[in-house]
Amino acid sequence: MAAHENKSPGAERQLQIYSEAAQGRLPAFPVSFVDLEERARAVIDPHAWGYIEPGAGSGDTLDSNQEAFLDWEIVPRVMSDVSSCRLEVRLFGTTLKSPILLAPIGLQGIVHAEGELPAARAAASLGMPFVLSTLSSKTIEETAAAMGPMPRWFQLYWGARRDVVASLVGRAERAGYGAVVLTVDAKMLGWREADLAHGYLPPMRGEGLANYFSDPEFRRTLPKPPEEDPRAAVMQFLETATNLELSWHDLGWLRERTSLPVLIKGILHPDDARAAVDHGVDGIIVSNHGGRQVDGVVASIRALPEVAEAMNGRVPVLFDSGIRNASHIVKALALGASAVLVGRPYLYGLAINGEEGVRDVLLNLLAELDITARLCGITSVQELDASWVRAI
């Protein structure tokens, strides 16, 4: 969102909402995260909700991802000229309009008939990178087609078959994805109580496997194509989905297969960040998978400062898990993140109102970020550093 002299996109959105209210039309779309979550819950199938919202185990990390933001307070500066406030950031040689990306969320078909396409379109309309999950309901190519030339990254789950991994990465590169995000905190599925209670595992019925079912390498070893025998295709996926042996040394192999920047998602320890960079990755995403993988692990925001310090600018550090509002973004950037990824909030927007719903979530977040930044005396998010926050 480019800022113009004395023109705040945040204030414009505010004014638009107040003006419509003055004519008797209150915003149809929820503004607060609490309302967003409540509305989403009302429209999402209860079993799907049990997959989406909770954290692993008893949800301690899910909760602390939020609470931990209170460990820091923003210290605003006043009386600086904020007639211009730049939200742009530069990552891997390209300029992003804002420091916000859409986190990879698999299986979006469980909340919307068009799967990932509405969120991808909404992201494209705002110039925000959409990170497509390996486990998506629509394919790499379908999603790319929905986005035109707008920025997108591909999130990789590295299973037991290298031929399939190489094929997926090659497809992403050919389809114009600008980076590969290797998620490393999900070698296995976390212990998810609601899903266990419901016996709910969508890939079991083929959901989220579009990239596999359309993959030539995956199809090559099936007795019959997935269209004729979906059961056998699902079984082949389940047998090869995990790769417990995967270690740092494998990164060299991936590096050789793609010229795209490779980011590692799911880093919480500074030593792991150092190891990742020593093995050739181009970026780090500090994340605990939205609290969905290991209950009791450190809140993502508490892990960020040490990782950022260890990186000391060697590669960009991105952040996710728990971003719900603009103050969270300001704090993450101040603590060393170059950009943040947002997860559940946009999925809730998708469930409530498809592409428009995702746009509303993102536009509200952008508006709030613009307003928060200007009110804090920030003229460019790139100037954010630890001097803007105070630890409690």
Q: Which residues bind ligand FNR (CB under 6 A)?
A: 52, 65, 103-106, 133, 135, 155, 183, 265, 287, 289-290, 292, 320-323, 342-344
Give the residue among 212, 219, 9 at the shortest CA–CA distance from 98: 9
- The residue number with the shortest CB distance to ligand FNR is 343
Residue 289 among the catalytic residues: yes
Closest CB to ligand FNR among residues 63, 309: 63
| Torsion on CA atoms 114, 98, 17, 4, rounded to nearest 10 | -140
Local structure of 182: helix, strand or coil: strand
Query: What is the smallest separation between the CB atom of 82 and ligand FNR, expressed in angstroms?
Result: 28
Query: What is the smallest separation between the CB atom of 361 and ligand FNR, expressed in angstroms?
Result: 11
Closest CB to ligand FNR among residues 85, 361: 361
| Set 4, 249, 289, 328: catalytic member | 289
Q: Do residues 4 and 363 lie in contact, with contact meaning Cβ atoms separated by under 8 Å?
A: no
Closest CB to ligand FNR among residues 98, 133: 133
Query: What is the smallest separation between the CB atom of 311 and ligand FNR, expressed in angstroms?
Result: 19
Q: What secondary structure letter does DSSP report for 297?
A: P
Cβ count near 232 (within 10 Å): 14
Query: What is the smallest separation between the CB atom of 260 and ligand FNR, expressed in angstroms?
Result: 16
Give the residue among 228, 209, 238 at the shortest CA–CA distance from 140: 209
How many whole angstroms separate alpha carbon 266 and alpha carbon 288? 6
Query: What is the smallest separation between the CB atom of 380 and ligand FNR, expressed in angstroms?
Result: 24
Cβ count near 364 (within 10 Å): 24
Query: What is the smallest separation between the CB atom of 391 and ligand FNR, expressed in angstroms?
Result: 22
* Helix (H), strand (E) at residue 174: helix 162-174
Closest CB to ligand FNR among residues 121, 265: 265
For the range 360-363, what are the long-range contacts, defined as Cβ-Cβ under 8 Å and sequence gap of 24 or more?
360/29, 361/36, 362/100, 362/102, 362/122, 362/123, 362/126, 362/128, 363/13, 363/126
Closest CB to ligand FNR among residues 3, 172: 172
How many whole angstroms separate alpha carbon 120 and alpha carbon 128? 9
Closest CB to ligand FNR among residues 48, 96: 48
Give the residue among 73, 95, 101 at the shortest CA–CA distance from 365: 101
- Dihedrals φ, ψ of 276, to 5°? -60, -45
**Which residues participate in catalysis according to the annotation?**
289
